[in-house]
Structure 1
Amino acid sequence: MPQIRRLPETLVNRIAAGEVVERPASALKELVENAIDSGATRIAVSLGEGGLSRIEVTDDGCGMTADEMALALERHATSKLPDDAIEKVATLGFRGEALPSIASVARLTLESRVRGSEQGWRRVTDHSAVTDEGPAALPPGTRVRVEQLFARVPARRKFLRTERSEYAACLDIVRRLAMARPDVSIRLEHNGRTIFDLQGGEGLAPRVAMIVARELADNSVAIDLERGEMRLTGIAGLPTYNRGVADHQYLFVNGRPVKDRLLVGAVRGAYADMLARDRHAVLALFLDLPSEEVDVNVHPAKTEVRFRDAAAVRGFIVSGLRQALSTGDRRSAQAPDAGAMGRWQVEPAIAPALGSIFRGRDWTAPSSNVRATSEAFRGFEAQVMDAPLGRAEQAEPDPEQAAEYPLGVARGQIANTYIVAEAADGLVIVDQHAAHERLVLERLRAAGAGDKVAASQALLIPEVVELDEPACDRLEDQAERFARFGLVMERFGPGAMLVRAMPGALKGGDPERLLSDLADDIAQHGKGLLLEEKIEHVLATMACHGSVRAGRTLNVAEMNALLREMERTPRSGQCNHGRPTWVKLSMGDVEKLFGRH
């Protein structure tokens, strides 16, 4: 039998580094977090080849003395835990593993100067071995340079990705930390090129919009809610402003960037009836709660957290997001499609035909040519359009409060599908079917139709569904909640559930497949959303079939009634599938189309 032995310190550090430093972005995250924890107001990040050849982080924080620098390179040495109360940690870092882990798999140059000191100190380690140290000239603060990452660990080096992929991961890390601290100025350079230079003190919303997308500022709602000791702030994109991947969802807990399944599931639940399943919201959410209510010591990378009362946190986020969106999302995505607008600038294809109509016209003697021109135009009209698709009615006097209507006053209908309205600040085009579909859905909810749709349909013979024990445990924990949606089940032994009733909306459904999907959904998102989505889908289908169809002729009174109800109804800015129900073209844009600018 092999003898038990103590592993050498260098190997211990490399093993620890495997958990903390997976790639250049992992090392960069630890270094920038250290800079933030030092009280820095300015942080400069410089990368070479996506961090593969060089990572350098410079800050103007509190700095370290020579003795503190030596101690900082020892494992589990930190200044961020003044006592043993790890459950009350208030800094981004606290484990004391980052610097020694990085130093064990790279060449690390650490330079620092305490404010008020005449000179700084430099300490160089090459894969844990100290190779040089001495005085250094630098401003107050700290500069850390990491080179030759994994140079002596070829097994790890070969698993790194391309320069472009590693740079993308580093960029994401800096972006998230820059959002977490809008009061700190952060500059990022890559291969000598400045990527961004963000100034501190600009505010949360402007910084998030600057990092994610500038148009987010005009297509989002601000969030600032409190419940007990919990507070939720940030900005959430309108459902019509969405992406095909979830990479633009930035979540923070007590200022710490996290990637947490419970929070992702809560966001998905909040947008459940406003987005198609393959689309994802764009947002930045900041959740603050007492430090003892959340465990950040789950993984060395510190990107996962565990909540003491997960259900309360999830409910707060879902209700908070829905409340914010219901007050602000009567707006649609603000900018019309750029491609569609660009086509307005092109000379119409019918221009030659129009030219042929007026060519040879004697403008000094209109009476002799009116009939010929009229006949020519009728021939052209027959050529380019079989039947008129737009119509207008005799205008009625506008109401006195017309200028106060956000969606304006109806002026006509195009293709029996789109309502054209004039608002005080522009031209509004409304998709009548998409808009009415949302209105009908909100009416159904207000009337309690969801409860009726979810009413239980008792099974003639209860069905036993066999699943693995963990899946049964997850379903049993949520059984009471599912019962409110019409799914009545109970535990039937270690590896089975007994289904007594199904939601009326899912009559004829397969209980085994439903429970399997629900168990997987809970495992992935922390709390099952699938059943709610199925119920919502039935409501949405009812709303779709009960709404005004495209192609139906509406009179002006009906159009205006639809516009006024849209202005009163939450979430009327998008249909049940996340598409915009209306777009607005400002008067300035209209004038540009005609060169009046």
Structure 2
Amino acid sequence: MPRRIHVLSEKLANQIAAGEVVERPASVVKELVENALDAGAGRVDVVIRNGGKTEIRVADDGHGMGREDALLSIDRHATSKIRSEADLAAIRTLGFRGEALPSIASVSRMVLETAEREGNGTRVVVTGGQMAAVEECARRVGTTISVRSLFFNVPARAKFLRSTAAENRAVNEVVTTQALATPGIAFSMDSGTRDVLSLPAAGNLGERIAALWGNEAADELLPVAHRMGGSALSGLVQRPNSARPGGRRSYFFVNGRAFSDRTLVRAADRAYRTTIPAGVHPHLFLFLEVPDGEVDVNVHPAKAEVRFRDRIGVERLVEEGVRAALAGIESTPSIGMRAMEPAVYPTTTGYGNMTLREPVQPWGATPPASSDGPAEPRAEPVAEPQMTLFVTGGQDASAAAGKGRGGPLPADLFDGATPVMWQIHNTYILAETRSGLVMVDQHSAHERVLYEQIVGNFDHGGAESQRLLFPITLRLSPAEYALVEQIKGVLERAGFEVEGFGGRSIIVHAVPNPHPYFDPERCLREMIGELTDGSPLVDSARTQHQRIALSMACKGAIKAGQRLTQVEMSELFDKLFATELPFHDIHGRPTVIQLSLAELHKRFGRSG
């Protein structure tokens, strides 16, 4: 009988192995940058074209290689990092398997130029895993590797690559992560059309974070320094009163190596338990140092995960270390504006069976401003016609009467006249109905109204906007800037006119004006952050227009803590009950709770 088992060719075996190491352009950048850092580079420059699908080039000023080492580096399992099993248990380099270069070379057209002495270099050309040329070249000390036409010989893999913008963001994240791991190394990144990153060598982690996200982001962080046994935790974490809902920046490193571990993120979150409301996710930049042999980094093809010998101990180290950093804040609450902020009430799970609860005011915590936290104290607006709650983009209440399920004021709730309304803790609106009482969460209600208004504006050519006498300038992260470039047209239809302003800054010339309390700078900044990092809210959308409408409604709606006039409360009721889904906000939470007269009689022990 003929044999059914065959030994694979070296070319096919290399392509299969490459599938574990090279998933997308960001994987290539990660491997090449790690090699550069292992080579002692003081500067690493990354250039990509078409998201890395056309070309990736990584250059460093490390110690370089001679001709013999350059040729060996293309062979599988050839490495300078380890020599014995003992070395494998004490790995301190980022690379060690000897798989990266041969794997990359097998699915691309790769050119390696390197020199360990000035002017005396070697150029190696490899196409689809086959050596094409080896020649001398004149170059400075260091190494430059160019990878072109990634997956040109594996079209099935190329089909799974995402858009140029998405691949750009993935590469941004890889370079950002490595830059955080090594603040003393200078980094740059060029996307082919613009400079994305230009990071000089920094003196410490805080300086690197300031260079990436601005001084304001760095000023929000607290230092962490904690030791337990032979292990240590250091880094920076966000102050509780600066943390916001939505996406977070969460970076973990062990012995200088970046890794992902949700259980350690949860351990850090446990340390914040008494300092922030539920749903708020502080930024984390944490570095673990553990003894050799206590962590196995050889458990994942892309080295993205690690395994700790004493996982429970590491979780405890993270939780106690973060809690120690927060201890000073917890034990010395400030007296001032925070004492005057309104209480935060637990979210009600439904309506029809009202449960009375005591207000919850977390000691030393600030409620999230992007969902239902208090706004800055404001004077009560004058009840003039031009100062109504909805100033642009909306319909008159009378015109909207037939749109919703029951018109502006549902007949089954209210009598013909507009009811008298009361505002409770500047957060909830209470009104008498025909059969009892109704309470409305003003933020949730306004979210629903704004969302349908924004969607309607998209359907009719875009929102009106007003030009700013003094334009707003925002400094963004590389990923945020790339996103704004991608969605600039949709933002303009939403009313935000933006353009690049050098580096990673944008200038905002015009903004929408959905209501008189609208803060365009805060709304746009929080929208960009949420759209870049993702959130359960925007990730549920099918289109970019829906993502922006959802985020803008959430960030732009009036907040809990905002005092409203009788005219504004009445208009909010009109607009809410003219929407298609008045009883739930865009998160699926209730906007309205009804309490029947019969329930009131029962609560007070009356017979009826």
Normalised to the residue count of structure 2, the TM-score between the two structures is 0.55
| 201 and 127 in structure 1: CA distance in 2 versus 1, 3 angstrom threshold | same
Contact 1:241 1:333 in 2 (8 A): no
| 95 and 244 in structure 1: CA distance in 2 versus 1, 3 angstrom threshold | farther
Contact 1:221 1:328 in 2 (8 A): no
Name the residue aligned to 2:314: 313
Name the residue aligned to 2:281: 280
Contact 2:124 2:134 in 1 (8 A): yes
Contact 2:119 2:138 in 1 (8 A): no
- How far apart, in 1, do the equivalents of 2:171 and 2:162 lie? 12
- How far apart, in 1, do the equivalents of 2:375 and 2:326 lie? 31
Q: What pairs up with 1:243-392 in 2 under 5 angstroms?
A: 243-328=244-329, 330=333
Name the residue aligned to 2:183: 182
| 261 and 109 in structure 1: CA distance in 2 versus 1, 3 angstrom threshold | same
After TM superposition, the structure 1 stretch with the greater mean CA deviation from structure 2, 265-274 or 92-101, is 265-274
TM-aligned CA deviation for residue 327 of structure 1? 1.5
Contact 1:243 1:282 in 2 (8 A): no
TM-aligned CA deviation for residue 243 of structure 1? 4.5
- How far apart, in 2, do the equivalents of 1:188 and 1:112 lie? 20
- How far apart, in 1, do the equivalents of 2:189 and 2:34 lie? 15
Secondary structure in 1 matching 2:240: coil
Contact 1:251 1:258 in 2 (8 A): yes
Name the residue aligned to 2:209: 208
Contact 2:111 2:125 in 1 (8 A): yes
- Alignment of 1:96 onto 2:98: yes
- Alignment of 1:8 onto 2:16: no
Normalised to the residue count of structure 1, the TM-score between the two structures is 0.56
In terms of fraction of residues, the more helix-rich structure is: 1
Contact 2:119 2:141 in 1 (8 A): no
TM-aligned CA deviation for residue 224 of structure 1? 1.5
- How far apart, in 2, do the equivalents of 1:141 and 1:245 lie? 42
After TM superposition, the structure 1 stretch with the greater mean CA deviation from structure 2, 187-196 or 312-321, is 187-196
Query: Number of aligned pairs?
Result: 362
Give 2:113's aligned amino acid.
E
TM-aligned CA deviation for residue 131 of structure 1? 1.7
Contact 1:241 1:282 in 2 (8 A): no
Contact 1:58 1:143 in 2 (8 A): yes
- How far apart, in 2, do the equivalents of 1:250 and 1:266 lie? 14
Secondary structure in 1 matching 2:293: helix
| 224 and 71 in structure 1: CA distance in 2 versus 1, 3 angstrom threshold | same
| 128 and 318 in structure 1: CA distance in 2 versus 1, 3 angstrom threshold | same
Contact 2:122 2:134 in 1 (8 A): yes
TM-aligned CA deviation for residue 122 of structure 1? 0.5
Give 2:115's aligned amino acid.
R
- How far apart, in 1, do the equivalents of 2:138 and 2:365 lie? 52
Name the residue aligned to 2:111: 109
- How far apart, in 2, do the equivalents of 1:246 and 1:347 lie? 33
> Percent of aligned positions with the same letter in both sequences?
41
Name the residue aligned to 1:76: 77
Contact 2:181 2:253 in 1 (8 A): yes
Name the residue aligned to 1:57: 58
| 135 and 328 in structure 1: CA distance in 2 versus 1, 3 angstrom threshold | farther
- How far apart, in 2, do the equivalents of 1:6 and 1:416 lie? 74
After TM superposition, the structure 1 stretch with the greater mean CA deviation from structure 2, 59-68 or 254-263, is 254-263
| 117 and 216 in structure 1: CA distance in 2 versus 1, 3 angstrom threshold | closer
Summarize deviations over 1:434-469 as a string: whole Å, max 9, x none: xxxxxxxxxxxxxxxxxxxxxxxxxxxxxxxxxxxx
Q: What pairs up with 1:217-232 in 2 under 5 angstroms?
A: 217-232=218-233
| 46 and 314 in structure 1: CA distance in 2 versus 1, 3 angstrom threshold | same
Contact 1:219 1:333 in 2 (8 A): no
Give 1:284's aligned amino acid.
F
Give 2:103's aligned amino acid.
S
RMSD: 3.4
Secondary structure in 1 matching 2:89: helix
Secondary structure in 2 matching 1:91: coil
Contact 1:224 1:232 in 2 (8 A): yes
- How far apart, in 1, do the equivalents of 2:146 and 2:382 lie? 61
- Alignment of 1:155 onto 2:185: no
Give 1:46's aligned amino acid.
V
Contact 2:111 2:147 in 1 (8 A): yes
Secondary structure in 2 matching 1:322: helix
| 305 and 343 in structure 1: CA distance in 2 versus 1, 3 angstrom threshold | closer
Secondary structure in 1 matching 2:140: coil
Name the residue aligned to 1:518: none
- How far apart, in 1, do the equivalents of 2:221 and 2:256 lie? 21
TM-aligned CA deviation for residue 349 of structure 1? 5.9
Give 1:96's aligned amino acid.
G
- How far apart, in 1, do the equivalents of 2:305 and 2:140 lie? 35
| 341 and 122 in structure 1: CA distance in 2 versus 1, 3 angstrom threshold | farther
Give 2:28's aligned amino acid.
A
Give 1:112's aligned amino acid.
T
- Alignment of 1:130 onto 2:114: no
TM-aligned CA deviation for residue 265 of structure 1? 2.5
- How far apart, in 1, do the equivalents of 2:214 and 2:147 lie? 31
Contact 2:277 2:365 in 1 (8 A): no
Q: What pairs up with 1:417-456 in 2 under 5 angstroms?
A: none
Q: What pairs up with 1:484-563 in 2 under 5 angstroms?
A: none
Consecutive unaligned residues of structure 1, counting only runs of 5 or more, are 354-385, 390-414, 418-549, 551-597
- How far apart, in 2, do the equivalents of 1:113 and 1:76 lie? 22
Give 1:97's aligned amino acid.
E
Secondary structure in 2 matching 1:92: coil
Summarize deviations over 1:35-59 as a string: whole Å, max 9, x none: 0000000111111111111111100
Summarize deviations over 1:543-593 as a string: whole Å, max 9, x none: xxxxxxx9xxxxxxxxxxxxxxxxxxxxxxxxxxxxxxxxxxxxxxxxxxx
Name the residue aligned to 2:566: none
| 337 and 276 in structure 1: CA distance in 2 versus 1, 3 angstrom threshold | closer
Which structure's CA Rg is the greater one? 1
Secondary structure in 1 matching 2:241: coil
| 8 and 267 in structure 1: CA distance in 2 versus 1, 3 angstrom threshold | same
Secondary structure in 1 matching 2:85: coil
Q: What pairs up with 1:460-471 in 2 under 5 angstroms?
A: none
Contact 1:246 1:281 in 2 (8 A): no
Give 1:95's aligned amino acid.
R
Contact 2:109 2:147 in 1 (8 A): yes
Contact 1:251 1:259 in 2 (8 A): yes
| 54 and 333 in structure 1: CA distance in 2 versus 1, 3 angstrom threshold | farther
TM-aligned CA deviation for residue 240 of structure 1? 2.9
Summarize deviations over 1:236-282 as a string: whole Å, max 9, x none: 00223334445510111111110123322212322234344433221
Give 2:98's aligned amino acid.
G
Name the residue aligned to 1:233: 234
- How far apart, in 2, do the equivalents of 1:8 and 1:206 lie? 50
- How far apart, in 2, do the equivalents of 1:117 and 1:90 lie? 28
| 69 and 348 in structure 1: CA distance in 2 versus 1, 3 angstrom threshold | same
Name the residue aligned to 1:142: 143
Give 1:22's aligned amino acid.
E
TM-aligned CA deviation for residue 63 of structure 1? 0.1
Consecutive unaligned residues of structure 2, counting only runs of 5 or more, are 335-363, 387-419, 428-560, 562-608
- How far apart, in 2, do the equivalents of 1:211 and 1:140 lie? 28
Contact 2:236 2:285 in 1 (8 A): yes
Secondary structure in 1 matching 2:98: coil
TM-aligned CA deviation for residue 128 of structure 1? 0.5
TM-aligned CA deviation for residue 158 of structure 1? 0.5
Summarize deviations over 1:301-359 as a string: whole Å, max 9, x none: 1110000111111011101101101224657799x989x99999999868999xxxxxx
Summarize deviations over 1:52-92 as a string: whole Å, max 9, x none: 11111100001011111110001011001143320101101
Secondary structure in 1 matching 2:222: strand
